[in-house]
Structure 1
Amino acid sequence: MPIRRIATRIVLAVTLLPATGPALAQTGLAAHFYFYRPTAGQQQAFEQGYRRHLEWHRQHRDPLVWYGWTIEDGPRAGQFVDASVGEPFAAFDRRVDVAGDAADAARNVLPYVTPLARPTYVLRPDLGAGTPLEHRRPTATMQVAVFHLRPGTEARFERAVQAARRVLAKRPGAPAHTWYRLVVGGEAPQYLLLVAREGWAGYDRYDGDLAGLLAKDDTALADYAAAVRSVDIETWRYRPELSLIPPGEQRDRAPPRRAAG
């Protein structure tokens, strides 16, 4: 969990298109991510301490969801990620007992990890197809892609993503693709893509990437090539025992339109 308060406000007008699936159960578009490196030899102590910290949030009736993942491959392999998504940005101005949260994290979590980064993104439902996390339906794994763009190419990149979204809509059984744009906390311009997976078997049914979706659209492919400087791709494994979904949230929310794969 974060140990300092984030006070970020953003006004964004978004049209929810039919291909995004059911309307969000909440209107919040904020996505706060926190990355940690567990100290060598302290993984078990970290996980025990993190469970105690989640219990603090539970006892204080924290209304925010907190997901936890372990990164399994790529340069950040071994890092732990937690995130709170699906709320308005203003929700982080109203967090429960910020000082108590920080003190509990200092006791139970920080002795066993090194905090690395805390990027904040805004959900872009107009670019994606499905929002499993916002609907409190995390999958066993996620295929995570971080797109680093050349400055000033955001419009071209988004045109390419929207073209890919139209192709994706014609592929039954494709997994949910959820897009976010970086707001603060990292190198910009940057976009984050989360592809819902239930394990490696999902790649037998769908293994496409953004460039592959654009293979038959020369204009969109040119936009993609001009905009993208580099892409980092990872696998994140969901840790339900290191996550906190407030009571009632999971059963009260409709499943996403595209969660298979």
Structure 2
Amino acid sequence: MIFAGLALTGMMSVYGQQNVFAFFEYDIRTDKEDAFINGYTRDLEWQRAQGDDWSWIGWFVQNGSRRGRFVDATPDHTWADFDDWKVDGAENSQYNRIHWLPYVKNPSGSYKEILAMYSNYKADWYKSKYLQVYYLHTNGTDDGKNIMAYLAQVKPQLSKRLGGLSFIWMKTVSGGNPATYLLFIALNRTEDLKLCDGIFRISESGNPERKYEGLIKNIESELWVYSAELSLFPHAGE
């Protein structure tokens, strides 16, 4: 959660309200998992004591090439929120260095926005036990119209296939490849992963992936596991 180090520039007011997430990721150094968890927990306690009113969610990547990577995010923001954090950024960075930064490497961060028109989700979907995450790498040659048409076509199919499970599309606005779109599917049971098998091949009237064959270069997936211990919800119970 090194918020002070993630610059926000050139954002436009057209982006949705309270649909913005700031993500941060780290690899945990070998044999430092316990030290990291203990230090990060202390850091959350320090933030709560500072009156931090933002929520923070932590996950561990369970599989794929990034297995073991820690991801955290602060959700449900407007763009203006990031100019008015109650916690002093410099002091926060200092305590990061004390509590847990020595135990991680390869940090990265990004701003992502929910594409609400193409998503179907319940409040607090990010507290689900698992998130199945897909990365759709597109060719990035148009202004986004083709990918939006694709997402519009697959939305009703995803709703039917997933039977009420929340699914959320996000685009990267800063801190990553803007031609890569993310799909999050919120799960509370491992067995629900079977609903995700072949999910981009579903179509009642032909394969949308074939129709947009030149648009999508490749798709990757991984499973994130929610960590309640490494999460903070200041307004829980209100």
What is the TM-score when the length of structure 1 is the normalising length? 0.82
Structure 1 unmatched runs, 5+ = 15-26, 253-261
Q: Which residue of 2 aligns with 1:117?
A: 108
Cα distance between partner residues in 2 of 1:13 and 1:117: 23
- The CA deviation string for residues 52-88 of structure 1, in whole angstroms up to 9 with x for no partner, is 1111111111111100000000111010000011011
Q: Secondary structure of the residue that 1:100 maps to in structure 2?
A: helix
Q: Which residue of 2 aligns with 1:258?
A: none
Structure 2 unmatched runs, 5+ = none
Q: Secondary structure of the residue that 1:196 maps to in structure 2?
A: strand
Give runs of aligned pairs for residues 241-252 of structure 1, distance below 5 A. 241-248=229-236, 251=237
Instruction: Determine if contact 1:5/1:93 at 8 Å carries over to the other structure.
Output: no
Higher strand share: 2
Cα distance between partner residues in 2 of 1:115 and 1:196: 27
Q: Does 1:127 align with 2:113?
A: no
- AA of the residue aligned to 1:12: V
Deviation of residue 222 (structure 1)?
Answer: 3.4
- AA of the residue aligned to 1:226: G
- The CA deviation string for residues 204-258 of structure 1, in whole angstroms up to 9 with x for no partner, is 4x2355422336335x33343221112120000000000001133xx45xxxxxx
Q: Which of 10, 13, 18 matches 1:11?
A: 13
Q: Which of 17, 30, 33 matches 1:43?
A: 33
Identity %: 25
Q: Does 1:101 align with 2:92?
A: yes
Give runs of aligned pairs for residues 170-249 of structure 1, distance below 5 A. 170-171=160-161, 173-204=163-194, 206-214=195-203, 216-218=205-207, 220-248=208-236
Instruction: Determine if contact 2:59/2:226 at 8 Å carries over to the other structure.
Output: yes
Q: Secondary structure of the residue that 2:196 maps to in structure 1?
A: coil
Q: How many residues align?
A: 234
RMSD: 2.0
Deviation of residue 187 (structure 1)?
Answer: 1.9
